[in-house]
Amino acid sequence: MAFSKQLIHLRNIRGMSQEELAALMDVTRQSVSKWETNQTYPDSEKLIRLSEIFEVSTDYLLKGTETEITDGQYNSQAGVQMSAEVNDILDHVYHMSRIKRMMIGLSLLAVIIFLCISCFLVWK
């Protein structure tokens, strides 16, 4: 289905007049009329706004069908989720290693203090 037909169809389903849609889009009624008669097309920002108003994707507006998500898109979504999990794990490891470094440092400090006290007592 062509964009113009799709726009008319979605507007009619919502029971919206051209004037009402124009007010929501912050354009003139004539602009909406030109879109619906294939005289002009809205710019990309207006297409996005139309998709938000009608709660459909821009693919649906332009092609009349939803585009299937490809494996690459699934992988990129999984990659984003995976990178968040990896960051959490790295933060945890960093925090644990920091605690371990502090424990080792405190242990060394205790050993040094013990040796100093022992040497002092032996020396006296």
- The reported pLDDT for the residue numbered 20 is 94
Q: 19: pLDDT confidence band, cut at 50, 70 and 90?
A: very high
CB neighbourhood size of 58 (10 A): 14
- The reported pLDDT for the residue numbered 76 is 52
Residue 12 predicted with pLDDT over 60: yes
- The reported pLDDT for the residue numbered 74 is 47
- The reported pLDDT for the residue numbered 69 is 45
What are 55-114's pLDDT values in tens digits?
A: 888 888 888 775 544 445 444 555 556 667 777 777 777 777 778 878 888 998 999 999
Distance (Å, whole) CA 124 – CA 120: 6
Q: C-alpha distances in angstroms, 3 versus 30, 48, 78, 89? A: 16, 13, 32, 47
Q: 8: pLDDT confidence band, cut at 50, 70 and 90?
A: very high
Q: Quick one: tokens of 107?
A: 């242990």
Percent of the chain with pLDDT over 90: 35
- Is residue 98 helix, strand or coil? helix
Distance (Å, whole) CA 7 – CA 2: 9
User: What fold characterizes domain 3-63?
Assistant: 434 Repressor (Amino-terminal Domain) (1.10.260)
CA-based radius of gyration for the chain = 33
- The reported pLDDT for the residue numbered 25 is 93
Distance (Å, whole) CA 11 – CA 18: 8
Q: How far is CA 10 from the centre of its chain?
A: 27
Q: What is the average pLDDT score of the chain?
A: 82
